[in-house]
Amino acid sequence: MISAASNEIDASTSLSVGDVDWSTLVTPCLVLDSQIMRRNIAVMRAKARSMGWRLRPHMKTAKCLRVGQWLFEPTDENENENRRAITVSTIREAEVFGGAGYEDILYAVSIVPDKVARLMACGRPGAVRVRAILDEESIVDDLSTAAGAAGETLSLLVEIDCDGHRAGISTDQTERIIRLARRIRESNHLQFDGIMTHAGESYGGADHEAIATAADQERLAIEDVATELRRHGIDCPIRSMGSSPTALLGRIQDVSSGQREMTGVNELRAGVFVFQDLFQSNLGTCSVDDIAVTVLSTVIGHRRDMNRLLIDAGGMALSKDHGTTGQRGTRIDGSPAVDYRYGQVCNLEGQPIGDWKVGSANQEHGLVESSSPIDFDAHPIGSRVRVRPIHACMTSAAHDAYHVWENNDWQRWERFGGW
Binding mask 198-227 for a copy of itself (x = CB under 8 A): --x---------------------------
| Of residues 292, 311, 293, the one with CA closest to residue 303 | 311
| Amino acid at the residue 104 | D
Asked if residue 90 binds a copy of itself (CB under 8 A), the reply is yes
Q: Which of 319, 327, 330, 344 binds a copy of itself (CB under 8 A)?
A: 319
Element (H, E) at 248: helix 244-249
First to last CA, the chain: 33
306 touches a copy of itself (CB under 8 A): yes
Residue 57 in contact with residue 271, Cβ under 8 Å?
yes
CA distances from 24 to 21, 298, 401 (A): 7, 13, 15
334 vs 380 by CB, closer to a copy of itself: 380
Q: Which of 4, 13, 15, 28 binds a copy of itself (CB under 8 A)?
A: 28
> Residue 391 Cβ, how far from a copy of itself at the closest point, in Å?
8
Under rule CB under 8 A, which residues in 330-389 are in contact with a copy of itself? Answer: 362-365, 367, 380-382
Measured CA to CA, the distance from residue 143 to residue 136 in angstroms comes to 11
Closest distance to a copy of itself from the beta carbon of 377 (Å): 10
C-alpha span between 345 and 368 (Å, rounded): 8
Find the shortest distance in angstroms from Cβ 179 to a copy of itself. Answer: 15
Minimum distance of a copy of itself from residue 252's CB (angstroms): 28
38 to 77, contacts with a copy of itself by CB under 8 A?
60
Query: If DSSP codes are grouped into helix, strand and coil, which group holds residue 402?
Result: strand
> Min. distance of Cβ 300 from a copy of itself in angstroms?
4
Q: How far apart are CA 116 and CA 138, in angstroms?
A: 15
User: Is residue 414 involved in binding a copy of itself (CB under 8 A)?
Assistant: no
Q: Is 417 in the site for a copy of itself (CB under 8 A)?
A: yes
Among 21, 142, 175, 375, binds a copy of itself (CB under 8 A): 142
- The verdict on 301 binding a copy of itself (CB under 8 A) reads yes
**CB-CB neighbours of 407 under 10 Å:** 8
CB of residue 119 to a copy of itself, shortest distance in Å: 12
d(CA 378, CA 153) in angstroms, rounded, equals: 63
How far is residue 87's CA from residue 64's CA, in Å, rounded to a whole number?
13
**Beta partners for 384?**
298
**b (16+ CB within 10 A) / e for 145-160:** ebbbebebbbbbbbbb
Q: Measured from the CB of residue 116, what is the shortest distance to a copy of itself in angstroms?
A: 11
CB of 125 or CB of 419, closer to a copy of itself: 419
Q: Is residue 291 within the footprint of a copy of itself (CB under 8 A)?
A: no
Residue 166 touching a copy of itself (CB under 8 A)? yes
Binding-site member from 114, 125, 233, 333 for a copy of itself (CB under 8 A): 114
State the minimum distance, in angstroms, from the CB of residue 153 to a copy of itself.
21
The span of 2-10, 21-29, 65-73, 247-255 binding a copy of itself (CB under 8 A) equals: 21-29
The C-alpha angle 92, 125, 130, rounded to 5 degrees, equals 35
Q: What is the DSSP secondary-structure string of 169-230?
A: EETT-HHHHHHHHHHHHHSTTEEEEEEEEE-GGGGG-SSHHHHHHHHHHHHHHHHHHHHHHH
Residues that bind a copy of itself (CB under 8 A): 26-29, 60, 89-90, 109-114, 118, 135-136, 138-139, 142, 164, 166-167, 170, 200, 298-303, 305-306, 310, 312, 315-317, 319-323, 362-365, 367, 380-382, 391, 393-394, 397-400, 417-419
